[in-house]
Amino acid sequence: MDTSEDIVQQPSPDLVRGSETARPVKAARLSPSFISWLQAGPMMLVFLAFFLIPLVFVVIVSFWDYNEYQLLPTFSGRGYTDTFEGCIAQLPDLCTIGRTYVKTLKLCIMVWAITLFIGFWVAYFLAFHVKSKTWQMGLSLLCTIPFWTSNVIRMIAWIPLLGRNGLVNSGLVKSGLINQPLEWLLFSEFSVVLALVHLFTFFMVVPIFNSMVRIDKSLIEAAYDAGATGFQTLVNVIIPLAKPGIVIGSIFVITIVMGDFITIGVMGGQQIASAGKIIETRVNALQFPAAAANAVILLIITFLIITMMSRIVDIKKEL
Amino acid sequence: MKEGRPRSFYVLAIFFAAYTLFLYGPMIAIYVLSFQGPQGGLTFPMNGVSTFWLQKLFQGTGIVDLGAAFRRSLLLGVIVMVVTVVLSVAAGMAFRRKFKAQSILFYSAIASLIVPSIITSLGISLEFRIIDDLIKAHWNENFETSMGLLTSGLGAHLTWTLPFGLLIMFAIFNRFDPRLEEAARDLGATPWQAFRHVVLPIILPSVIGIGLFGFTLSWDELARSSQAIGAVNTLPLDLQGLTTTVTNPDIYALGTIISAVSFAVITLALGTIHMLNKRQAAKGSDAGKGLV
């Protein structure tokens, strides 16, 4: 037992080399590639059964026909023609689907810009200003814990603050700044953006922080020694090196907001349309091919956005 | 002599504090409001302090059968947690050497993470509908549905938790010293012994982290469950349903209960991780000891 611990602590080069020649003989019973299949196979099967095949079905069903109450497995482009109904006739005005996508993209850009700003500075503070590892760990945990709690609860948590008689309104009325409660605080685009930022800034903080802690501190010192100002160091050293994290965080936030229907539903008082909400509405009306067609459109647009962004950075290298 | 902190430190410290307040403030508000007096409404000020709304919830006089939803969510959460831990650790081990289909699995996991949940959820529901139709057409006309909490629901949750599990495993093995395992094998350990007595004790704190993600993400999951859970509801789905109809604080009481479970699990997991880390620091790793 004692000798084994010594070896663990001080592996000699001979031993490591020896292991490489000895292993094939020992593991001859099961080939390494078979073991890999056993280890990775179950997860692959789950993704196959509950992710890849369902995606194929979404594409197939989007080309099926339907009536009021059931799917008709015959080829039809009705899912798509229904979706784009009136789009050519109404030109140059946007049709419903066009308007919805413009609106969703607008929400997306707003939420992206705000989460990027907040996420960048929170990560910057944690990575460069918090020196002790314990504090860094503790404060990162503080940012992570809400992610482990319910999104719906974090949405309804805004009701007592933003509602007609909520804290913000009553405070403003009491202070004499306004005469009547503000109506646009809750169940509005404002509350949707607020809730999305509240829920998903986490997805920005983590990857940016990861990129930042990997930056060699001596590079920053070198920049200062060479006479760079704080701002120049930020723009020319830190931001380029944190770019992978920024891109990964952006991909997360953008894809989440593009497909979101719950936050937009709850915080928008079920009144605001979005790309994800159309799919939900179609499903609730049992118009599955139309829902699937919308899902395919959303998938293509999301995929285009991700391809554009991953041009900037090789995701696989960063993880 | 210690250098003073730059001014940017104080600016960013205030920014960080404001962000933390923004994160936690609203949550704390509803925990407080769930202790409203019986006459209290949805907003401040508090109209007395009581446990009226929490008790009402437990008496089951509320709007939905919360007890059943609670048990369903708990069951699903525990199963998702176990499956996520086992499959992630296994797949993580596979990624330590090259194998075919490696990049297919990697990109499936990443895609599963970022493809909008509503699409995955719709796809699973279509898949199960088509399976149902096939069974009805060919085998059993009276067949109801194969969709359910532990079939389509479990699968939907796994598409969300497994990518996190796999990414955590990557992070673990990025800083894992493979010489420890090689040493064990040189001493005659079988691959399983080397895993059980050397690798597992070292990675155990992070494995508990995977379990934490598995349970909490499932416990609160909504978007993927929405189309794929079948006839029954999980707790978050019931809660979402209440947001459009309820006008008194029992929705906050329910939120508080759900959060209490989350916080209990978070505390338990973080406590265990802390304890394991302390033990590892004090006693060194268990590597080698189990080989006797």
Cis peptide bond prior to B191, omega within 30° of 0? no
Contacts (Cβ under 8 Å, ≥6 apart) of B82: B211, B214
Instruction: Please say if the pLDDT value at position A15 is more than 50.
Output: no
Instruction: Please say if the pLDDT value at position B16 is more than 80.
Output: yes
Q: What's the pLDDT at B212?
A: 95
Q: Check residues A251 and A181 and name the one with the higher pLDDT.
A: A251
| A149, A199, A280, A296, best to mutate vs chain B, most B CBs in 10 Å | A149
Partner residue facing A154 (CB), from B26, B102, B266: B26
Distance CA B291, CA B190 (A): 10
**Strand (E) or helix (H) holding A74:** strand A71-75
CB contact under 8 A, B255 and A121: no
User: Using 50, 70 and 90 to split pLDDT, how confident is the model at A18?
Assistant: very low
Which residues of chain B are within 8 Å of residue A55 when distances are taken between CB atoms?
Answer: 115, 119-120, 123
DSSP B142: T
Q: What's the pLDDT at A63?
A: 93
Q: How many CB atoms lie within 10 A of CB A89?
A: 8
Which residues of chain B are within 8 Å of residue A295 when distances are taken between CB atoms?
Answer: 118-119, 122-123
Q: What is the pLDDT of residues A208-246, one digit of tens each?
A: 999 999 998 899 889 989 988 888 999 999 999 999 899
Average pLDDT, chain A: 84
CB A82 within 8 A of CB A90: no
Which residues of chain B are within 8 Å of residue A23 when distances are taken between CB atoms?
Answer: 185
Q: Tell me if residue A71 falls in helix, strand or coil.
A: strand
Q: What is the DSSP string of A258-289?
A: HH--HHHHHHTTT----HHHHHHHHHHTT-HH
ipTM: 0.90
Residues written for chain A: 319
Counting Cα atoms < 13 Å in the Cβ hemisphere of A101 gives 15
Which residues of chain A are within 8 Å of residue B288 when distances are taken between CB atoms?
Answer: 1, 4-5, 7-8
Buried b (16+ CB within 10 A) or exposed e, A124-151: bbbbbbbeeeeebeebbeebebbbbbbb
Which residues of chain A are within 8 Å of residue B30 when distances are taken between CB atoms?
Answer: 153, 156-157, 159-160
Q: What is the pLDDT of residues B74-100, one digit of tens each?
A: 999 999 999 999 999 999 999 988 888
Q: Scanning every residue of chain B, which has its alpha carbon at the shortest distance from the alpha carbon of A54? A: B123
Contacts (Cβ under 8 Å, ≥6 apart) of A102: A94
From B278's Cα to the closest Cα of chain A, the distance in A is 13
Q: What is the pLDDT of residues B95-146, one digit of tens each?
A: 988 888 889 999 999 999 989 999 999 999 999 999 988 898 888 878 888 8
User: Which range in A108-122, A272-286, B228-242, B243-257 is most confidently predicted, on average pLDDT?
Assistant: A108-122
Q: Give the pair of three-digit tokens for residue A38.
A: 């056993």
CB contact under 8 A, B243 and A50: no
CB contact under 8 A, B240 and A302: no
From B87's Cα to the closest Cα of chain A, the distance in A is 6
Q: Give the pair of three-digit tokens for residue A11.
A: 């592996």
- Window 182-221 of A: residues touching B by CB (8 A cutoff) are 198, 201
Instruction: Please say if the pLDDT value at position A4 is more than 60.
Output: no
Partner residue facing B183 (CB), from A15, A139, A291: A15
Q: What's the pLDDT at A23?
A: 47
Which residues of chain A are within 8 Å of residue B280 when distances are taken between CB atoms?
Answer: none
Distance CA B234, CA B268 (A): 23
Q: Give the pair of three-digit tokens for residue A244.
A: 């992978």
Distance CA B26, CA B19 (A): 12
| B10, B43, B193, B200, best to mutate vs chain A, most A CBs in 10 Å | B43
Q: Scanning every residue of chain B, which has its alpha carbon at the shortest distance from the alpha carbon of A231? A: B8
Distance CA B135, CA B146 (A): 9
Taking alpha carbons only, the member of A105, A88, A104, A85 closest to residue A96 is A85
User: Using 50, 70 and 90 to split pLDDT, how confident is the model at A29?
Assistant: low
Cis peptide bond prior to B45, omega within 30° of 0? yes
Q: What's the pLDDT at A11?
A: 42
Q: Is A308 on the interface with B (CB under 8 A)?
A: no
Least confident of A75-79, B170-174, B184-188: A75-79
Q: Scanning every residue of chain A, which has its alpha carbon at the shortest distance from the alpha carbon of B258? A: A150
Q: What is the pTM of this model?
A: 0.87
Taking alpha carbons only, the member of A60, A72, A51 closest to residue A286 is A72
